[in-house]
Structure 1
Amino acid sequence: MGQPFTKPNWYNSYQFTADMLFYARAVNHPCRSYNSSSALMFYIPFYASLYAHVFSHENNLTRRDALGVDLLEHISKQPNFQRNGGHDHFLPVGLMALDFSRQNDDNNSYGYKFLTLPHLSNVSIPIIERDIYIGKNQFGIPYPSYFHPKSKAEIRIWQDEVRRSERTHLFSFVGGGRQKGHGSEKFQTAVINQCNNTENCILVFCKYWIVTWDAADEILGAMKRAHFCLQPPGDTWTRRSIFDSILAGCVPVFFSDNTAYKQYTWYIPERREDWSVLIGPDQLDRIEEVLSQIQPEEVEQMREAVIGMIPHVTYMHPNASWTEIGPRDVVDTAHLWS
């Protein structure tokens, strides 16, 4: 979870540890069975995010892929896997599908071919960013944020705090710019320019991405003081900031269906307008105007919906007692268990 903050059960969580947190919660899940013959689902315990970081600079593609290939060849030979061809297995991934979907073996090719291997074709893949085009067996799960409570009481206390928070600004943005030619450059540039040109926006400019989880107070503080939190695409379509803003009770503002609506269907309300705002291409240069036209009572309803989402997009502390959890967290909300 990262280094603990002074506030109990708040941690400097790295955004690419969802698979590790998922594992820490799953091993103590009340539905866990130690009898494989009675199990309905089988967890494949593999930290794909660590695997990616360790071998990412390996130029020999065969060696780069070897660990993942060996794992799946081993798993696929097990009787429990062969019984249903992997349909009853799942493997969480703490990085984007892009990192594990290499399509060719050119020496300059990026990433791994892990998710393209036939052994995983029937396996369910909970992942922080799914491939919305070909990832039929991929299911979006939230990026980890800072809060890992141990009880439903702690969740309620935090929900009450963000509910009482004084919202002094119309909107905020936490992030940085992108170089010319980057796919999200136009979104980031438009957002930053408009934030700089109004007193109604709080801008937390992150020049270097690595510092973002060293500034939790500044990040969440900005989000807690704003009615809306802008969520343009970042390096990829999705971003951890979505879940930071939900944690802060700040209504997310999206600029593409791909950022959340097509990703996190297990975790978000069916009606997007109940909890978020979508800025279309024709509105990109007038963000403040669009947001200022939303009536206060409607903003209040959206914020309450966002606050209600907090338990379900939060990874509870691994040591939390299941009798004390109350609302379902990320792991328990996953439809894998239903």
Structure 2
Amino acid sequence: GRNSGHQYPLSFDDPCYFACLGDNPEPSSTTARLYYSSLTTPGSLFEFDLATGERKLLKEQKVLGDFNKDDYQSERLFITARDGVEVPVSIVYRSDKFKKDGTNPLLQYGYGAYGITIDPDFSSTTLSLLNRGFVYVIAHIRGSEMLGREWYETGKKEHKQNTFNDFIDVTKALVAQGYGAKDKIFASGGSAGGLLMGAVVNQAPELYLGIGAHVPFLDVLTTMLDETIPLTTNEYDEWGNPNEAEAYQDILAYSPIDNITAQHYPNILVTTGLHDSQVQYFEPMKWVAKIREFKTDDNLLVFKTDMEAGHGGASGRFKSLREKALEMSFFISLLPE
């Protein structure tokens, strides 16, 4: 405590996890509540005794089915990006379905914007993929704040290309190290992570069998030049102000819709909501139309608009699960028999 000068180091068993202090409304309490979750441990509430240092599990999120956390294994890797920077990566797989020999399908998720860090916490929906032999990866790329403020600053504005490089370099390294089969690699991202997907399919389409892009921000230049759109002026600090020539060129260099070329693209699933005010539906619609015009392959390009949803996707519990199931079934259907 602050007055006693005592420190209470806490150690956890998992290589990657999320932990924070829970609600502790009693100032005179001799216990503190802690929340803990990892890629293999469902959300858990602990009580930590400040006098004895003991930790007691109060509640753990229930998981339907015959889930046993010992069936799954997580890892934390650091992958060297092309400029020498070490990018943290969180990985999880089902132990009895995984061989580090380059045969497993692999889904890599990323966001990398606004200094938002994707915590390696538990997702019961991901189990469906892990149980089918998928390796699930979170790439903690620049633009997040995984390694502090500088990690964010070096992944925005004129440094935005670092975000995309990190994601691509992580994929290449995971394939090289045998975590995934080079012809069974998938990637997924939403909103600013959808921008990431749009940039990655332009710059390294050959790496991916399938891509999921959800409410994706794809027409960065047009949007950032239109001050009538709600988020535009507020976000000059994230993307730059394209009314200035230098920022215009920086954005033009990566903006997904402006860099579509005649090449083979992966199989792509794009979802949006008609009532999305943050990334309006016509943005992914324009992008899909342009890719259809330019792409030189016969791969799937599926565009789904939810006529009732906004930027957060479906709000009903079961409908949002159906959204996740759509992407999973899209990816699974692409795997060779």
| TM bracket (short chain) | under 0.3
Structure number with greater CO (CA < 8 Å, separation at least 6) is: 1
- TM-score with structure 1 setting the length: 0.25
The structure with the greater share of residues assigned to strand is: 2
- TM-score with structure 2 setting the length: 0.25
The structure with the greater share of residues assigned to helix is: 1
